[in-house]
């Protein structure tokens, strides 16, 4: 309550992937042909779309999720996870006869990880699911990623533009952007690997992250480059970049940190916070996330 009235939660639409994650804790990630004995494993709610939806809800947004799961136990687990995270999952399709998306991620003793995803039902989401006045009513922003087909992202971005909602693409994992989708993107969020793929500039510190962000800002109105343990750089076209060193924290696991960053960033931006302050809020949220065992 603020001044005796209920504060307004801004609406964010997330169109993206849902994965049942199997997390494996091990001393290191195996090399090709190598077998390593791990410490433990546990199931986890996942998919970049689902993770970002829950992160945005945790940051204070009203979140509507558009995605797809199979008619299996993984699908039920994912729907329960969205509900527990305070996300409206009424627009998540349940597809009969197909398995839900899943992934296996190996987290090493340093907190870094590698993962393999299997898209499953995510690849069968109907682009028409992104259209409809009720979905976009009051929406301030759309969050997209690259774990679903490009045709769905394009349909969602066009619908968002019609609804006058800002379009954020977290271009992960990397794939070439179509000339149809590129001009619809208002906010681009990329990590060091994706920034190098899109900009052609190798990112290995904050200086090179800033250089990549400046180049990307020639094509996108607002850009954020996250550089892992180094920090993040944000820039709006025609303005100076904002360089944020990583906050000093004890790292437990970096898994899902990029998704927390994106969800918190778009929530702050949709709430009307200045761009650089939105990046700062996201940086703090991601730092807090990596200090605990990932449970997204």
Radius of gyration of the chain (CA): 18
pLDDT digits (tens, 9 = 90+) for 103-115: 998 988 887 778 8
pLDDT average, residue stretch 91-110: 92
Give the CATH superfamily of 11-30+39-185+247-289: Ribokinase (3.40.1190.20)
CB 174 within 8 A of CB 202: no
Which pTM was predicted?
Answer: 0.90
Q: How many CB atoms lie within 10 A of CB 3?
A: 5
Distance CA 22, CA 1 (A): 39
Domain ranges of the chain: 11-30+39-185+247-289
Query: Quick one: what percent of the chain has pLDDT higher than 70?
Result: 92
Confirm whether 259 is a catalytic residue: yes
- pLDDT, tens digit, 9 for 90 and up, residues 122-160: 999 999 999 999 999 999 999 999 999 999 999 999 999
Task: Say which range, 30-44, 49-63, 251-265, has the weakest mean pLDDT.
Answer: 251-265
Mean pLDDT of 92-104: 95
Q: Of the listed 72, 186, 259, 271, which one is catalytic? A: 259
pLDDT tens track for 174-224: 999 999 999 999 999 999 999 999 999 999 999 999 999 999 999 999 999
CA distance 260 to 267: 11
Task: Report the alpha-carbon distance of residue 211 to residue 205 in Å, rounded.
Answer: 10
């Amino acid at each position: 309550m603020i001044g005796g009235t209920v504060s307004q939660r801004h609406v964010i639409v997330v169109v993206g992937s849902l994965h049942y994650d199997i997390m494996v804790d091990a001393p290191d990630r195996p090399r090709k042909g190598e077998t390593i004995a791990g410490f433990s494993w546990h199931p986890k709610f996942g998919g970049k779309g689902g993770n970002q939806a829950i992160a945005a809800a945790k940051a204070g947004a009203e979140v509507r999720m558009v995605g797809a799961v199979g008619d299996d136990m993984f699908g039920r687990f994912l729907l329960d996870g969205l509900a527990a995270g305070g996300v409206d999952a009424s627009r998540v399709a349940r597809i009969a006869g197909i398995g839900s998306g899943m992934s296996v991620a190996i987290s090493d003793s340093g907190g870094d990880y590698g993962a393999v995803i299997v898209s499953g039902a995510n690849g069968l989401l109907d682009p028409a699911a992104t259209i409809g006045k009720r979905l976009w009513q009051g929406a301030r922003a759309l969050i997209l990623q690259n774990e679903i087909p490009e045709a769905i992202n394009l349909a969602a971005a066009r619908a968002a533009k019609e609804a006058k909602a800002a379009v954020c693409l977290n271009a992960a994992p990397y794939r070439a952007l179509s000339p149809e989708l590129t001009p619809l993107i208002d906010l681009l969020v990329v990590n060091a690997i994706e920034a190098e793929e899109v900009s052609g500039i190798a990112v290995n510190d904050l200086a090179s992250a800033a250089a990549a962000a400046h180049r990307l800002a020639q094509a996108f109105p607002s850009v954020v480059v996250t550089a892992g343990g180094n920090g993040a750089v944000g820039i709006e076209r025609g303005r100076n970049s904002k360089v944020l060193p990583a906050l000093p924290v004890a790292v437990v696991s970096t898994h899902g940190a990029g998704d927390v960053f994106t969800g918190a960033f778009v929530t702050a931006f949709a709430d009307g916070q200045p761009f650089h302050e939105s990046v700062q809020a996201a940086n703090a949220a991601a730092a807090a996330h990596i200090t605990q065992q990932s449970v997204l």
